[in-house]
Amino acid sequence: SSAEAALAKAKPYTGETVEVNYVWPNVDAASMVQDSSYSYGYTGSDKAQNEESDASGNVKGSYSFKTAEGQDFEVKYSSGVGGFVVENLEELLAKSNPQSAEYAAVVAEQAALASSGHSVVATRGNSVDAHEAETYVHEEIAAE
């Protein structure tokens, strides 16, 4: 109904224009087969994005934005056979959600374990509500 509060507020159009750079995929003239390479980018007053893909579909890119509080963030990512990876995740988490000394100690311990090749499972010790970590089991769900 009209009495309900809006879940999201649209940002009014400011009239800002941005320049977009785009390089399309390569096409083999003999076979007319298109590869997966491309690149594009744009920059606005409070956001930007750049991305490129090689012929095999491996993607590297970044996007940046400014929060309502004026804090700048840049997310650097890659994607390919190994999946989607945020290259600077720890930096972003620390910047966006500074935590207690306990949290910093857990992060440092997990980073040390991960760099030594061990699996990392996060649990909070000394907590009444602490639960055992469960192993993830993937199950296919049929489409309806």
| pLDDT band per the 50, 70, 90 thresholds, residue 60 | very high
Three-state SS string over 84-119 comes to EEECCHHHHHHHHCCCCHHHHHHHHHHHHHHHCCCC
Check pLDDT > 80 for residue 27: yes
Of residues 142 and 120, more confidence is placed in 142
Q: Given this model, what pLDDT does residue 124 score?
A: 47
pLDDT at 88: 92
User: How confident is the model over 102-135, as pLDDT tens digits?
Assistant: 777 777 887 787 777 655 554 444 544 555 667 7
pLDDT surpasses 60 at 95: yes
Antiparallel, parallel or unpaired: β 47-53 and 59-66 = antiparallel
Largest CA distance in the chain: 68
What percent of the chain lies above the pLDDT cut of 70? 79
CA distance 50 to 71: 20
pTM, rounded to two decimals = 0.56
Position 29, amino acid: A
